[in-house]
Structure 1
Amino acid sequence: MNTFTNWKTLNWSEYGAELLGTAFNLLIGFSIITFNFGKGLPMEHLIPAESPRLLINGLIFAGSGALFTISPLGKLSGAHLNPCVSLAFWLQGKMHKRDLIGYIIGQLLGAILGTFVVTNLWGKYALSVNNCMTLPSKSYALWYVFLAEVFMTCLLILSISIFLSHRRLLRWTPLMVWLLVATMVWLGAPISGTSLNTARSIGPAFISWFWQDQWLYCIAPPLGALIGVGVFRLISMGEREVLTGKLFHVHHYPCIFKNVKVPHLKKQY
């Protein structure tokens, strides 16, 4: 009876929002990757240069995540959509361990669902871009690719932490993340594929059942998140802290996070 009661008290709505948000983000992101780089599709002739197409990928991929952040579901869960972001919030004392696990499971299932839809929607065109897998470039040593993922994820987490620790910057976090991730995709994709997100990499690897070098994306982004939290604590010197576990905090939405210090909070557990 106690076990059943405990299951009922879990925050299923937030976990479901993370699942749907991650699936939506990858559906849009992987579709634009396929459209821009799929063999036999018009973009390779309309825009022969790779760099502009990578920039388009970044703007639309990251933009879909930003749009979800300000949607009702995004306002509910906080729109992490990334195990590394959830890990960072947990390390900063903003999440219960049970919610961290629930969020990560939701994100992984959402990534698999989103990839499944894309591969069935685009078929051979998705297959021509390896089902949008993140793969290390053969032009760089594997250690360099690993460090690139660590650095980019660290910068992402550090930037989120800085914005969410300033009351005047809080509302601009989705815009900042959109532009930052778009730039990282533009510049970093030729090196590592720009994962930043373990779920984003596991989804296509699971659907393709191809795991070569995928350990890199299971270790480097979480390590980058850990370093990002450490750097934030170092530069803040205890004078600032992350104010909320949501990327876009709206006071009239319920909040399951801990130690939230945003004004006019309706509900805090």
Structure 2
Amino acid sequence: MTLGKKLAAEFLGTFWLVLGGCGSAVLAANFGGDGNPLGIGLLGVSLAFGLTVLTGAYAFGHISGGHFNPAVSFGLWAGGRFPTRDLLPYIVAQVLGAIAAGFILFQIASGQAGFAIDPTSAGAFASNGYDALSPGGYSVAAAFLCEVVLTAFFLIVIMGSTHGRAPAGFAPIAIGLALTLIHLISIPVTNTSVNPARSTGVALFAGSGAMGQLWLFWLAPILGGLIGGILYKGICRNEPEVVGN
């Protein structure tokens, strides 16, 4: 595959992740108001994020590797699965895809009478945050630790499920379920990022509060991705690896 085709796949895959995952949070999580059985809630949003990665990986994984996340690209690079020359182009494509999805989601959400985003509200427009912008009021230290550890384990699952000795064809399922679990754990803490592109794509529309805290959702996931990639590479140093696209 040419680099252009890979970048197009990363753009579309990240677009799908943000539209599906964040869209479920903005449009469906609380549909009908508190207590309405039609609202999908925390569990539904968690499943939506997992399903976007699962379906996106099957659709685009054979083209670009299905990263859809700068932290994943950094982690695979640290783990020896991804070439340095493609790192920046992949990240640019991922961020642009996330922003495009955020824009489309904003246009859809704006079609509801009375729609407004409160930039001081936790989780506004599916944004990530800490302290007052954390859904559960968690501190910056707790949010940072949560994002680092969960992203590190996300990379371990990704690298393990795509290893040469792993069952063929099942990696997207393991990766999608891992992302679902990550959301079940951390939505109360940070509204779950583990993906700088996802955070950026909605923060641009969520207002000054989310934008002011966006630094953490770049630094912590990328650090976690690097840790996960290095750890898995160390564990499997003498095992055959799958070379990243």
Aligned with residue 101 of structure 2, among 89, 114, 138:
114
The one-character-per-residue Cα deviations of 1:156-192 (angstroms, maximum 9, x if unpaired) are 0011112222433342111011111111111211011
Where does structure 2 lack aligned partners over 5 or more consecutive residues?
none
The aligned counterpart of 1:131 is 125
Task: Kindly indicate whether the alpha-carbon contact (under 8 Å) linking 1:85 and 1:225 is maintained by their aligned counterparts in 2.
Answer: yes
Q: How far apart are 1:208 and its partner, in Å?
A: 3.5
> For residues 206 and 27 of structure 2, what CA distance do their matches in structure 1 show?
19
Amino acid at match of 2:169: R
Task: Kindly indicate whether the alpha-carbon contact (under 8 Å) linking 1:149 and 1:220 is maintained by their aligned counterparts in 2.
Answer: yes
Task: Kindly indicate whether the alpha-carbon contact (under 8 Å) linking 1:92 and 1:229 is maintained by their aligned counterparts in 2.
Answer: yes
> For residues 126 and 165 of structure 1, what CA distance do their matches in structure 2 show?
45
The aligned counterpart of 1:19 is 11
Task: Kindly indicate whether the alpha-carbon contact (under 8 Å) linking 2:17 and 2:53 is maintained by their aligned counterparts in 1.
Answer: yes
Q: How far apart are 1:44 and its partner, in Å?
A: 2.9
Aligned with residue 31 of structure 1, among 23, 37, 41:
23
The aligned counterpart of 2:166 is 168
Task: Kindly indicate whether the alpha-carbon contact (under 8 Å) linking 1:34 and 1:126 is maintained by their aligned counterparts in 2.
Answer: no
Amino acid at match of 1:232: Y
Does 2:243 align with 1:244? yes
Q: How far apart are 1:125 and its partner, in Å?
A: 4.7
Identity %: 28
Amino acid at match of 2:239: R
> For residues 104 and 161 of structure 1, what CA distance do their matches in structure 2 show?
19
TM-score by length of 2: 0.86
Residue correspondence of structure 1 range 76-225 to structure 2 within 5 A:
76-123=63-110, 125=115, 127=117, 130-136=124-130, 137=134, 139-210=137-208, 211-225=211-225
> For residues 98 and 207 of structure 1, what CA distance do their matches in structure 2 show?
31
Q: How far apart are 1:45 and its partner, in Å?
A: 2.9
The aligned counterpart of 2:35 is 45
> For residues 63 and 232 of structure 1, what CA distance do their matches in structure 2 show?
25
Task: Kindly indicate whether the alpha-carbon contact (under 8 Å) linking 1:133 and 1:201 is maintained by their aligned counterparts in 2.
Answer: yes
DSSP-derived class of the 1:45 partner? coil
Task: Kindly indicate whether the alpha-carbon contact (under 8 Å) linking 2:162 and 2:171 is maintained by their aligned counterparts in 1.
Answer: yes
Q: How far apart are 1:155 and its partner, in Å?
A: 0.5
Task: Kindly indicate whether the alpha-carbon contact (under 8 Å) linking 2:29 and 2:42 is maintained by their aligned counterparts in 1.
Answer: no
The one-character-per-residue Cα deviations of 1:26-71 (angstroms, maximum 9, x if unpaired) are 1111221013345xx31633249x9x72111111122022111111
DSSP-derived class of the 1:68 partner? helix
Does 2:42 align with 1:54? yes
Task: Kindly indicate whether the alpha-carbon contact (under 8 Å) linking 1:36 and 1:43 is maintained by their aligned counterparts in 2.
Answer: no
Amino acid at match of 2:242: L
Q: How far apart are 1:18 and its partner, in Å?
A: 0.6
Q: How far apart are 1:230 and its partner, in Å?
A: 2.1
Task: Kindly indicate whether the alpha-carbon contact (under 8 Å) linking 2:79 and 2:230 is maintained by their aligned counterparts in 1.
Answer: no
Task: Kindly indicate whether the alpha-carbon contact (under 8 Å) linking 1:19 and 1:109 is maintained by their aligned counterparts in 2.
Answer: yes
Aligned pairs, number: 232
TM-score by length of 1: 0.79
Amino acid at match of 2:6: E
Higher-Rg structure is 1
Amino acid at match of 2:183: V
Task: Kindly indicate whether the alpha-carbon contact (under 8 Å) linking 1:92 and 1:242 is maintained by their aligned counterparts in 2.
Answer: no
